């Protein structure tokens, strides 16, 4: 059979380092499971922007289109405004390829010390299902009276029935494969047009999953509960903004944002899905070879799963678990001293 | 001199219980400092809504108008939708009286165990300065195609130069009385119209406070840092929504939302300011006499400060500190067994 085509965008800073690690791990596990993969690398990044004035070429999205999946490192660099780097690359990929699900698993692994006292290894295991293409991250808005004392800026949040329904359906279907419990993040007491609509659609869709328990929490209280009782949650479904906040907070609760993976999925499979660690390009440690590659590696495991190789994915996650159990193969963000190389080698040893 | 007039709205659930406790404490400290206070109680609540169809009378705001301050317990009850109870009482008060500052101090007190390992008593001491009248909580928005598959809801976030400037100025001026460090909550990488505007205004205003150190963090990363390094922060300034999320999360990090106070301030003093605990009406424990009154009591201390009685405010906070130091006078939410009565009595003993 033809190999599955992976488009690789290492991006900026530690994105380059962790993507290299993830590729090595992919090679090892692909060999073990006889999965034919082919790669095409794209140097789209802030470096490219600074040199050529665009994060990616004009036909960039066209070139990604035939890929079976996209593996991304991290995007962003000092001197390039975030809205340039992200809206010139990451966000267009998410939107053009209708990657309407952003999936962000959060686990406290054995060997990792959570900053939260009650978050014991093995007990915290949740997934944030984040709506990824509409909501608060809208291009609709602008300014009035620029530069005047009366200046104002407006921004429209847009929620569609179709958009909310499909993300809620995804969350409930996912919950069925887990502990059958969904929590919806809302703020209908303060954001009185879009959030009551979100609540209504959630309630309607939930009615189709009588076997799944569910509740709804305001984002302020939910953020607090994620710290107070993280073990309580199974699947949390939230809007673009709320999912973003909860998944970063959750990654902190899990012990390090360096471990946290994410999948930007088009569940219809009409377009390639994209897999990226939650962490950014980390200019402060870039180029030193000390970045934690586990977020990128776990993201690669999610990619394998999406591409139809659940056993290979399971092997990679098992290698991550083994690696975290050994103090000698934990990176600095986890209180260890291992560098990216040492962690990658350990993963490869577990995968032979 | 004429007594200062306090309008008291106990509201719903434990709001009634904690407000009663706060009033007793106010009486004690007022006597000690010879502060003449007069009270007028209003039974505006969800009970009233259920009986009479409105949270407050049509001239409710008029009746509050002459007060020097408003002391509120909590609003909300099962069976009454949040947008009815809150937008029928709390939000109109905040807006009509231009209470554009929502001030939410967060401290880990001695005697309190934070759920966050690194949050040691005495070391975490920050204030969230939340914009309280504009931003994401806007009445502008609505639905299209109600009930159809094409239905959508939109909501406009509105940020004005005047509105952002004054909250930022408030935060920087406050920082000068503390550790001279401000962190601005943003999300200009995702919310590309209003948040870059927020960032610009923050940078402009900050230039007028050369003695105050400041930085800016995206809300997702900031939520994570509030768990990872809460001791790092001094003053955090954020929009209506971001301030709401961070202050609830902060209250959790501080060990209990039952302690957290808030002040809704009109710093121009054209209108009465309002003081309320961060916690809600807590239907699950309402009527049992076990609610933690400290959030309401600390809010009352903030009121005393606002009314020009800083020494009395200091005494109340000292009583709270003493109360938390003694395991016998900690409520259930803090791992103790004391009821509201016992805590209130302890506070009163400290204030004679
Ligand atoms: C009840 C709700 C509207 C309110 C808010 O978000 O402002 C509450 O959470 C608060 O923080 O006072
Ligand atoms: C960089 C930013 C636009 C992005 C987001 O908020 O979506 C990031 O925080 C993420 O979570 O992938």
A148 phi and psi, to 5 degrees? Answer: -90, 165
**Segments in chain A forming alpha helices (H):** 14-33, 46-52, 60-64, 82-85, 91-96, 161-176, 194-206, 219-228, 240-253, 294-306, 310-325, 340-351
- Reference B228, options B117, B339, B99, B65; nearest CA is B117
Average model confidence (pLDDT) for chain B?
Answer: 97
The minimum-distance atom of ligand 1 relative to the CA of B91 is: 3
Residues of A in contact with B225 (CB under 8 A): 252
Going by their DSSP bridges, the two strands A181-186 and A235-238 should be labelled as parallel
Q: Is B106 helix (H, G, I), strand (E, B) or coil?
A: strand
Contact A224 B257 (CB under 8 A): yes
CA dihedral over A329, A330, A336, A340, signed as positive or negative: positive
Bridge-based pairing of strands B273-277 and B261-265 is antiparallel
Residue B78 Cα to ligand 2 middle (Å): 35
Q: Summarize pLDDT for B101-153 with one digit per residue, the tens.
A: 999 999 999 999 999 999 999 999 999 999 999 999 999 999 999 999 999 99
Q: What pLDDT is stored for residue A1 in this prediction?
A: 77
d(CA A278, CA A261): 5
State the pLDDT at residue B243.
98
DSSP code of B262? Answer: E
Tens digit of pLDDT for each residue in B93-110? 999 999 999 999 999 999
Across the interface, of B82, B154, B198, the residue whose CB is closest to A156 is B154
CA distance B126 to chain A (A): 17
Among A87, A150, A191, whose Cβ lies nearest the Cβ of B137?
A191
Nearest residue in A to B144, CA atom? A160
Rg (alpha carbons) of chain A, rounded to whole number: 20
Which among A190, A221, A252 has CB closest to B224? A252
pLDDT of residue B83: 80
Give CA angle at A254 (A176, B184), nearest 5°. 115
Ligand 1 center to B89 CA (angstroms):
12
CA pair distance B240, B339, nearest whole angstrom: 33
Q: Whole-angstrom Cα distance, residue B140 to residue B147?
A: 20
For residue A212, what pLDDT is reported?
Answer: 98
Query: Looking up tokens 């082919």, which residue turns up?
Result: A38
Specify the pairing of strand B152-160 against strand A152-160: antiparallel
- This prediction has a pTM of 0.96
Phi, psi of A143 (to 5 degrees): -125, 155
Q: How confident is the model at residue A126 (pLDDT cuts 50, 70, 90)?
A: very high
Q: How far is the CA of B187 from the centre of ligand 2 (A)?
A: 9
Which chain B positions have a beta carbon within 8 Å of A187's beta carbon? 241, 244
Domains in chain A (CATH in brackets) are: 1-100+256-352 (3.40.718.10), 114-254 (3.40.718.10)
pLDDT at A326 over 80: yes
Chain B residues with CB under 8 Å of A260 CB are: none
Count residue pairs from A and B with Cβ separation < 8 A: 199
Please tell me which residue of chain B has the smallest CA distance to A143.
Answer: B193
User: Considering chain A, what is the average pLDDT of its residues?
Assistant: 97
Residue B177 has pLDDT above 80, yes or no: yes
pLDDT digits (tens, 9 = 90+) for B5-25: 999 999 999 999 999 999 999
Nearest CA to CA, how far is B351 from chain A (Å)? 32
Q: Please state, for a pLDDT cut of 90, what percent of chain B lies above it.
A: 98
Q: How far apart are CA A226 and CA B227, in angstroms?
A: 11
* Mean pLDDT, rounded, for B69-77: 97
- Do residues A25 and A347 touch, judged by C-beta distance below 8 A? yes
Tell me how close the Cα of B339 comes to any Cα of chain A, in angstroms. Answer: 22
Q: Which residues pair with B236 in a beta bridge?
A: B128, B183
Token pair of A28 as six digits: 């090892």
For residue A53, which phi and psi values (nearest 5 degrees)?
Answer: 80, 5
SS3 (DSSP) at B62: helix
Place of tokens 């939910």: A222
pLDDT over 70 percentage in chain B: 100
CA distance A44 to A23: 17
How does strand A181-186 pair with strand A213-218?
A: parallel
Residue A99's Cβ-side half-sphere holds a number of Cα atoms within 13 Å equal to: 23
Q: A92-117 pLDDT, tens per residue?
A: 999 999 999 999 999 999 999 999 99
End-to-end, the C-alpha distance of chain A in Å comes to: 24
Q: Smallest Cβ distance to A116: which of B195, B227, B257?
A: B227
Please work out, in degrees rounded to the nearest 5, the angle formed at the alpha carbon of residue A110 by the alpha carbons of A105 and A116.
70
Measured at the alpha carbon of residue B185, what is the angle toward residues B182 and B189, in degrees to the nearest 5?
135
> Rounded mean pLDDT of A58-87?
95
Contacts of B191 in chain A (CB under 8 A): 136-137, 155, 241
**Tokens, residue B327:** 């395991």
Helix (H, G, I), strand (E, B) or coil at B117: coil
Contacting residues of A for B198, CB less than 8 Å apart: 153
Which chain B residue's Cα is nearest to A230?
Answer: B115
C-alpha distance from residue A40 to each of A7, A216, A272 (Å)? 5, 42, 14
Q: Tell me if residue B203 falls in helix, strand or coil.
A: helix
Q: Kindly report, residue by residue over A216-227, the tens digit of the pLDDT.
A: 999 999 999 999
DSSP symbols for A303-323: HHHHTT-HHHHHHHHHHHHHH
Phi and psi at A210, nearest 5°, equal -60, -25
């Amino acid at each position: 059979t033809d190999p599955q085509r992976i488009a690789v965008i290492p991006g900026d800073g530690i994105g380059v380092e962790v993507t290299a690690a993830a590729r090595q791990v992919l090679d090892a596990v692909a060999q073990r499971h006889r999965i034919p993969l082919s790669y095409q690398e794209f140097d789209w990044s802030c470096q490219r922007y600074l040199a050529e004035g665009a994060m990616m070429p004009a036909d960039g999205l066209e070139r990604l289109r035939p890929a079976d999946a996209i593996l991304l490192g991290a995007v962003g660099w000092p001197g390039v405004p975030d809205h340039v780097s992200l809206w010139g690359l990451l966000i267009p990929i998410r939107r053009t390829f209708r990657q309407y699900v952003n999936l962000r698993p959060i686990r406290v692994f054995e060997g990792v010390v959570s900053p939260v006292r009650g978050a014991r290894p093995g007990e915290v295991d949740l997934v944030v299902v984040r709506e990824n293409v509409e909501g608060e991250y809208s291009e609709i808005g602008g300014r009035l009276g620029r530069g005047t004392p009366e200046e104002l800026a407006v921004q429209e949040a847009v929620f569609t029935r179709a958009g909310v329904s499909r993300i809620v359906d995804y969350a409930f279907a996912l919950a069925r494969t887990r502990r059958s419990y969904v929590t919806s993040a809302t703020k209908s007491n303060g954001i009185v047009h879009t959030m009551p609509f979100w609540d209504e659609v959630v309630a309607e869709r939930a009615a189709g999953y009588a076997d799944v328990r569910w509740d709804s929490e305001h984002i302020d209280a939910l953020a607090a509960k994620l710290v107070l009782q993280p073990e309580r949650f199974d699947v949390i479904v939230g809007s673009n903004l709320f999912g973003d906040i909860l998944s970063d907070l959750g990654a902190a609760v899990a012990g390090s944002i360096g471990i946290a993976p994410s999948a930007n999925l088009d569940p219809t499979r009409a377009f390639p899905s994209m897999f990226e660690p939650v962490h950014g390009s980390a200019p402060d440690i870039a180029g030193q070879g000390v970045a934690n590659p586990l977020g990128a590696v776990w993201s690669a495991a999610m990619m394998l799963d999406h591409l139809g190789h659940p056993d290979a994915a399971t092997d990679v996650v098992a290698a991550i678990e083994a690696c975290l159990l050994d103090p000698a193969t934990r990176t600095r963000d986890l209180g260890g001293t291992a560098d990216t190389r040492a962690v990658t080698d350990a993963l490869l040893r577990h995968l032979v």
